[in-house]
Amino acid sequence: MKKIFLLTLMTSVYCWAGFNIEPSVGYKNSKLKMTDLTNSTTEFQMNGMQYGLKLGVSSPLGITLDVQGLQSQGKAQMTPDLGFNPEYNHTTGLALIGVSAMGILKIHLGYIFMNDLEVKSTDTFNGFKLKGQGYQAGITTYLFPRVGLSAIYNVNQFNKISGAAFTNGDALDTYYNKIDSQDFGLQLSVLF
């Protein structure tokens, strides 16, 4: 009897139940705070719609392994206010592991392996592009079968910068003492 139980447990751990496709739409609130070498600080508040697609596999025990792509864009509000709001574009790629409880609640953690944030140039502002990695934590509740509502929190760790004003290489610490960047978002998704 013990051998049958052990064999069943090992089989259920290593057998994946299915392939998942999960498109999403939501709203993201981002903050980027940049402190340059003279300790002057510029902040960007970026709010806008976010679209995503998650592909993954799930086990009978409720463990999921996913890859997700997210895209958001809109206008950024700057502090100090320079009288204009530049456009931004943020693209992320993530690898996620999640644990589901009875198909009602899912908690996941992720590594952001691709993180590109571009603040676009205007007539009076030199834009820039940040690259790096980051981490995500999230929780999803399935209010209806296969329809999920997620709250996600990202910590962005940018380490490269490019743009017309950044000509001494792409290392971020050449131009800035510190960069803080965090996102919070709500997403509505459908699981196929």
Question: What is the overall mean pLDDT for the chain?
Answer: 90
Residue 64 has pLDDT above 90, yes or no: yes
**Close Cβ partners of 192 (under 8 Å, ≥ 6 residues apart):** 20, 21, 22, 146
Torsion of CA 99, 101, 107, 113, to 10 degrees: 30
- In this prediction, residues 86-96 reach a mean pLDDT of 96
State whether residue 38 is helix, strand or coil: coil
**Residue range 149-168: mean pLDDT, rounded:** 94
CB neighbour burial string for 102-129, b if at least 16 within 10 angstroms, e if fewer: eeeebebebebeebebbbbeeeebebbb
Give pLDDT, residue 6: 45
Domains, the chain, in order of start with CATH, read: 18-190 (2.40.160.20)
C-alpha angle 76-81-84 in degrees, rounded to nearest 5: 55
- Per-residue pLDDT tens digits for 126-151: 899 999 999 999 999 988 888 999 99
pLDDT interval class at 84 (50, 70, 90): confident
Residue % of the chain over a pLDDT of 90 = 74
